[in-house]
């Protein structure tokens, strides 16, 4: 176990004892879970027409995309490799040492995040499987001409569990919180004892000091966190995760909270249990769940800005199995008041892995179909 992992485990029990008391129904600030049919399942009446353009194609299992302050896009592929799209539209392969990358099943090169001070330090963070038998968060510096990445914290965070047999449930999404902490969403590696175990970093959302690597468990009881989204103008952070054969979830995160996934079937991975087990004291219900069947929810982002018209403020969620984008309109407390599929992306581009609103105000999406994957740029038609 790495030093970072030991620090996490040592502090986790105290945090969770303080944060997991009380019942799910009366926890302050928890919006009610959506029950019954959704408020809306069609296209929103306020929907502006959208234009969808292909920024780059010819990728394989594109995972994440982030935009630097200068407008450059950086996209990664699960099997390894970084591609930059410069502001003039030219494409550049970015050299990086990925000799220790573990790739199998759902695990490989995954979430990306530029540091908040990128203009000054050119720091990039990636979450990736490692042949040492762990998933790690690695920090890189980006060359000024976008030609190379150089490791500077290897790892920044280590000790995230890895399923070395299948690569199943590897996570691993990165997002910066409003206070500057790096949030890391992890998977449970299809091990039933992991999500409720405060001695494991799997099935959790972690908070990391990106400067020092000091980290702690923030929330637990997750199955496979695929999306993290910060709601603009608030301190709210939402996590998106896959359910087993039902109940993909969107959860509003609260420090120390337990989101109720406990598939420990006496030594086996019991996926017949509920995503939020009501038998767990203080288990927090989801603000949205898919019911049956699952949609394979993935990366998420909030739309923010007047250019989006009636879409301003929506939480958008990429759909893998269901092939499209789900839109949720939330009230101030996080309860769902409207949901619908975005028409221009409904089945037309296959599996949507990641969604990010860029610094230029446009929405960017990655497809994850396994061949000729793309980065899409989506804007509201004026």
- If we measure between CA atoms, which residue out of 210, 215, 209, 168 comes closest to residue 2? 215
Least trusted range by pLDDT, from 32-36, 73-77, 286-290? 32-36
**CA–CA separation, 134 and 2 (whole Å):** 10
What is the model's pLDDT at position 382? Answer: 82
Model-level pTM? 0.90
pLDDT tops 80 at residue 10: no
Q: Which residues contact 174 (CB under 8 A, 6 or more apart)?
A: 111, 112, 113, 125, 126, 127, 137, 182, 183, 184, 185, 228
Question: Could you give the angle at the alpha carbon of 44 between the alpha carbons of 38 and 45, nearest 5°?
Answer: 130
Q: Please provide the average confidence, as pLDDT, over all residues in the chain.
A: 90
67 bridge partner residues: 73
Q: What is the DSSP letter of 258?
A: B
pLDDT of residue 328: 98
Convert the pLDDT of each residue in 61-113 to its tens digit: 999 999 999 999 999 999 999 999 999 999 999 999 999 999 999 999 999 99
């Amino acid at each position: 176990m790495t030093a970072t992992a030991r620090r996490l485990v040592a502090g986790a029990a105290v945090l969770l004892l303080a944060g997991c008391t009380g019942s799910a129904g009366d926890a302050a600030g928890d919006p009610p879970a959506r029950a019954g049919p959704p408020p809306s399942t069609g296209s929103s009446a306020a929907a502006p027409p959208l234009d969808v353009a292909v920024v780059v194609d010819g990728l394989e299992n594109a995972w994440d995309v982030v935009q630097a302050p200068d407008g450059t896009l950086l996209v990664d592929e699960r099997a390894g490799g970084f591609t930059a799209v410069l502001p003039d539209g030219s494409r550049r392969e970015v050299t990086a040492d990925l000799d220790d990358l573990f790739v199998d099943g759902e695990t490989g090169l995954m979430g990306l995040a530029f540091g908040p001070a990128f203009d000054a330090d050119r720091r990039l963070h990636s979450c990736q499987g490692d042949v040492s038998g762990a998933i790690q968060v690695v920090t890189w510096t980006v060359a000024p001409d976008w030609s190379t990445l150089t490791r500077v914290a290897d790892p920044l965070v280590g000790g995230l569990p890895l399923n070395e047999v299948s690569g199943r449930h590897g996570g691993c999404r990165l997002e910066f919180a409003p206070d500057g902490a790096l949030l890391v969403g992890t998977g449970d590696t299809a091990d039933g004892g992991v999500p409720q175990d405060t001695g494991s970093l799997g099935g959790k959302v972690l908070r990391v000091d990106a400067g020092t690597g000091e980290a702690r468990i923030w929330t637990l009881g997750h199955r496979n966190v695929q999306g993290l989204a910060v709601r603009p103008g608030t301190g709210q952070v939402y996590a998106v995760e896959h359910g087993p054969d039902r109940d993909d979830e969107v959860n509003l995160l609260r420090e120390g909270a337990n989101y109720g996934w406990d598939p420990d079937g006496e030594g086996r991975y019991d996926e017949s249990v509920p995503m939020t087990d009501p038998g767990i004291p203080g288990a927090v219900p989801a603000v949205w769940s898919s019911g049956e069947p699952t949609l394979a929810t993935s990366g998420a982002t909030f739309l923010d800005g007047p250019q989006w018209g009636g879409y301003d403020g929506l939480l958008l969620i990429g759909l893998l199995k269901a092939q499209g984008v789900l839109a949720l309109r939330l009230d101030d407390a996080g309860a769902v008041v409207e949901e619908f599929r975005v028409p221009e992306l409904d089945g037309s581009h296959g599996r949507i892995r990641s969604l990010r609103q860029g610094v230029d105000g446009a929405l960017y999406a990655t497809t994850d179909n396994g061949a000729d994957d793309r980065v899409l740029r989506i804007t509201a038609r004026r």
